[in-house]
Structures are given as C-alpha cells and as structure tokens.
Amino acid sequence: MRRCLVWALACLITAFAVVGALKPAYATAGCRVDYAVPSSWQGGFQGSMTITNLGDPLSSWRLGFTFPNSTQKVVQGWTGTWAQSGRAVTVTNAGYNGAVPTGSSMNVGFTGSWSGSNPAPAGFTVNGVACVGAAPVTTSPTAGDPWNPPSSLVSPLAAVWSHEEATYSDLFGFKNYGWDQLFAAGGQLNYCVRWDSAAHVTAAQRDAIAGALQRQYQKWVDALLDDGAGWNNWPYRQVPVKVVGWAVRDRAQLEWSDPAVDIYVNDISENAPQCGTPCGRFFHQDGDYSGCPGGASHHYDHSLWLTAGFSGGAGGDWGQRIGSEYYLSNLNAENIHILLHEMGHTYGLDDFYDWDPTPGQGFLMKAGSATAITDFDKWMLRDWWRHLKTRYGR
C-alpha cells in the first residue's frame, strides 16, 4: 500500500514502500483463547490457556498476551517456548504442536507468581492477530450497521469506496493497515523516528517532535468519536503514541545522553537511517519481536521518516515520511496537514489526483485542497472502520 502526496515535487517512490505494496495477503486468521486458573495459592498459581483455531490451518503459532499487573510472572511454562518482557508474555509452539487444523484446539499451561491480585489477561493474540472468538468476516459491513453520514456526503462516499474497491489490489486481503496495527498493539502505538538529516537534535526538540506526533494522531482518533464516545463501536477514545526509538547517521547528532529512546546508528536503507528491523512491525507482522533488543515493548509500529529538503510526503503501512524542516517549523501548528494526510494513507485512505468526489469543496486527502481533517475526511475514515471492524470483533 503506497500512497504519496505531490506537494511541489514529484511523488517519491521508495524501495521501502514498494516492498509494502508487494507484501502477500495473509491467510484468514481467527482464534479464541480460553484462560483458566485451575489452582492458586498465596504468591503462586497455575494458568491454562486453550487456543481454538477458527481460521485457516496453522503450521506454527505464537500466542501473545499481557498480564494486567506487573507482579504477575511466568515461572515455568510447558507445551511451547515461553518468554516474558515486562507484562508481555509470548509462547511459541514446540516442534511437535505447531500444526493446528481449522476448528482444533490445543492447550498450554504454566505456573506463575503474583502478589496483590491475579487478574486474567484482557486479550490474546495468535500470530499477531487479536483472538476475538470468531474468524473475521472482511467482505462487507454487518447488516444493519449504522451508516449515517450527512445526506450530502452519501453519494460521494459511495463513489470513493467503489473507487478503492476498483483500484486497490487486495483491499480486504491486506492485513497491515493502521487499523490492524493499532488493534494488534491493544490501542496504542510505538513510533521510531528516521532522522534523515545532517542537523543536530536537542532533547527539547526530540520531545516536541513526539508531542506534536501525539496531537496530530489524536485528530484522526477524534474523527471516530461523537461527543467522546466511539462511533459504531469504535473502542479507543485516546490512542497513546510513544516514540521509542531514533535512527541517525551519527550518534553525535543527538544531543542527549538520557536513555529515553533506543538509538540506531548508521543502519542505512533507502539512503536513510533506519530503525532496527528486528523491532519493526513492517518486518514482523506476525508480532514476533524476539530479535528486538529490549523485547516487544521496544518494538515500533510506524516509522516517522523526516527527510531534509523534502517538500512532499509519503505514507503507508510502514508509517509516514515528510520534510524535517517542514515538521520542525510546524511543531506548534494546530494542523500539520501533510503529516495528517500521510497518516490518512496509513489507515487506507486514498489519493485524489485525478478525480474529485466533492467538486469545489476540498478535503485533506485531496492534496492541497484543505489543511485540516474535514467532515468528508472523517466519514471516509469511518467508512474504512465499518468495513474492517469485524476483523477486530467489533
């Protein structure tokens, strides 16, 4: 999925983005996990999980869940390889139990320790896909689903959706939209900054870059809320966005010594510094961050690629790319509109270079015609949500 913004210069096509466009579709995934505590004693307990495969047959699996409390620890697990990083636990299949046919179940168990309280994990993933108790149906909105845009937008929205169906190579097969990433991460997102510039960066700039990113991201989240409540069963009012890493050519460019972010030095890809691939969602869509130093909590979902002298933009499942000078000079702007436009692409929204569904009105995803998320942008985003939401059990 590659979309780009012709702002002043020609659209820049990167190898990284092309890889995204060529990613194969994933098999249909669906699972249910039943969690039980057969026995518990002061400070310890036995846990058991039964995984039922409701999707295509699995040849290998990786179960993930997060303990609600930091005091909950796996002491010893069986029927797989167990790992815990902070509250996050993963179990990878053993050699003999990787295959799980459709409709079959298998069980894993462990002994654990706890103090204070011992609540059950709230959710589980198998191979990075949230287990919502049913195989996702991803072909059409649920019958009776609310679809209540302003009447003047109904026809333009239908035209946009038809255009996407006609022009996207694998609209419903693609499983790494921003939506998929957000749900796989449980409603929060990690970013890594690719600092594609020779300039130095202060700690204050670093923090301002992260702050602006959070504020801009929330603008799209707000487009899914009505009076603070999620439209059409949308679950997240706030999406915490955390910058966990920076990639740079020369460590000396970063004028801080605190350990606030992971730092990747001189790992060059597409002629730009890149954050470590073992930690990147784009490279590990199965959610396996076992090669990431620091573990899963240090992984990043999106890259924010900031390039010196770049006046356009690009966005996709890998993240967003905009000019470093543009971003730094707009950190306090209410709407960093090129960034917002590229975030829209991460969530599947289309470009409009060759046609206009709302002639003369202007909207953010039609580059150059608006500088903030409009009502039409909001309803295009909602159209994506109603088409994909069953993937996430909503």
Residues at the site binding Zn ion, with contacts judged by CB under 5 A: 3, 5, 351
Residue 267's nearest CA partner among 276, 259, 278 is 276
Phi, psi angle pair for 385, to nearest 5°: -60, -45
Shortest approach of Zn ion to residue 195 CB, angstroms? Answer: 23
Asked if residue 296 lies in contact with residue 284, where contact means CB atoms within 8 angstroms, the answer is no
Shortest approach of Zn ion to residue 179 CB, angstroms? Answer: 18
Unique residue bearing structure tokens 């983005």: 17
- Return the beta strands (E) in 186-257 as ranges: 189-196, 201-202, 225-226, 229-230, 241-248, 254-255
Shortest approach of Zn ion to residue 146 CB, angstroms? Answer: 28
Written as one letter, the residue type at 306 is L
Q: How many CB atoms lie within 10 A of CB 298?
A: 20
Q: Is the Cβ of residue 5 or residue 51 nearer to Zn ion in the bound state?
A: 5
Q: Is the Cβ of residue 72 or residue 346 nearer to Zn ion in the bound state?
A: 346
Q: What whole-number distance in Å separates Cα of residue 161 and Cα of residue 387?
A: 10
Q: Is the Cβ of residue 5 or residue 88 nearer to Zn ion in the bound state?
A: 5
Q: Is the Cβ of residue 3 or residue 62 nearer to Zn ion in the bound state?
A: 3
Shortest approach of Zn ion to residue 351 CB, angstroms? Answer: 4
Rounded-to-5 percentages of helix, strand, coil across the chain: 25, 30, 45
Q: What whole-number distance in Å separates Cα of residue 101 and Cα of residue 282?
A: 27
Reading the block at residue 72, the tokens are: 């909950």
Question: CB under 8 Å to 193, separation ≥6 — which residues?
Answer: 209, 243, 245, 246, 247, 275, 303, 304, 305, 306
Shortest approach of Zn ion to residue 45 CB, angstroms? Answer: 51
Q: How far is CA 91 from CA 74, 283, 353, in A?
A: 11, 20, 46
Q: Is the Cβ of residue 301 or residue 351 nearer to Zn ion in the bound state?
A: 351
Q: Is the Cβ of residue 248 or residue 365 nearer to Zn ion in the bound state?
A: 365
Residues β-bridged to residue 322:
306, 313
Asked if residue 347 lies in contact with residue 384, where contact means CB atoms within 8 angstroms, the answer is yes
Shortest approach of Zn ion to residue 301 CB, angstroms? Answer: 20
Shortest approach of Zn ion to residue 5 CB, angstroms? Answer: 4
- The length of the chain in residues reads 394
Shortest approach of Zn ion to residue 352 CB, angstroms? Answer: 8
Shortest approach of Zn ion to residue 390 CB, angstroms? Answer: 27
Q: Is the Cβ of residue 288 or residue 342 nearer to Zn ion in the bound state?
A: 342
The CB-nearest residue to Zn ion is: 5
Q: What whole-number distance in Å separates Cα of residue 220 and Cα of residue 94?
A: 41
Q: Is the Cβ of residue 4 or residue 129 nearer to Zn ion in the bound state?
A: 4
Q: What whole-number distance in Å separates Cα of residue 325 and Cα of residue 43?
A: 54
Q: Is the Cβ of residue 180 or residue 350 nearer to Zn ion in the bound state?
A: 350
CA 336 to chain centroid: 20
